Chains A and B, each alone.
Chain A
Amino acid sequence: MEKKEYLNLVKKISPKANIKKTFLCSFFIGGLICAFGEALRQFFLYFRFEEEDAGAMVSFVLIIITAILTGFGIFRKIANIAGAGTFVPITGFANAVVSPALEFKTEGFILGVAAKMFVIAGPVIVYGIFASIVYGAIFYFVKLIGG
Chain B
Amino acid sequence: MKLKRGIFHFKTPICVSGFAAVAGQKESKGPLKDDVDVFLKGRFFGEKSFEKAESKMQQIAVIKAMQKANLTADEIDAIFAGDLLNQCIGTNYGLRELEIPFVGLYGACSTMAESILVASTFIETGLVKKTISVTSSHFCAAERQFRFPLEYGGQRKRTAQWTATAAGAVLLESGNKKKIYVKSGCLGKIIDFGVKDISNMGAAMAPAASDTIIRFLEETKTTCNDYDLILTGDLGRVGSDLLYELLDQKGVNIRAKHKDCGLLIYDRNDKDINSGGSGAGCSALVFCANILKQLEEGILKKVLFVATGALMSKRSNQQGESIPAVAHLIYLKGEEKWN
Contact = CB atoms under 8 A, between A and B. Distances in A.
Interface of A: 1, 3, 6-7, 9-10, 13-17, 22, 70-71, 73, 75-76, 78-80, 82-83, 86-87, 92, 95-96, 98-100, 102-104, 106, 120
B158 A17 contact: yes
Contacts of A75: 151, 153
Contact of B149 (A7, A16, A87, A102): A102
B241 to A, nearest CB: 5
Given A7-B194, A14-B238, A15-B238, A106 B151 contact: no
23 contacts: A3-B193, A6-B193, A6-B194, A7-B195, A10-B200, A16-B158, A17-B155, A22-B155, A75-B151, A76-B150, A76-B152, A76-B153, A78-B153, A79-B155, A80-B153, A80-B155, A95-B151, A96-B152, A99-B153, A100-B149, A103-B150, A106-B48, A120-B149
A13 B148 contact: no
Given A6-B207, A7-B193, A106-B49, A13 B151 contact: no
Contacts of B153: 70, 75-76, 78-80, 82, 86-87, 92, 95, 99
Interface SS of B by simple majority: loop
A83 B154 CA distance: 7
B159 A15 contact: yes
A71 B203 CA distance: 34
Pick the most buried of A14, A75, A82: most chain B CB atoms within 10 A of its CB: A14
A118 to B, nearest CB: 12
B238 A98 contact: no
B337 interface: no
B245 A9 contact: yes
Nearest to B199: A14
B249 interface: yes
B221 interface: no
B195 A98 contact: no
B246 interface: yes
Of A71, A83, A92, A103, which is in contact with the most chain B CB atoms at under 10 Å from its CB?
A: A103
A70 B200 contact: no
Interface string B299-339: 00000000000000000000000000000000000000000
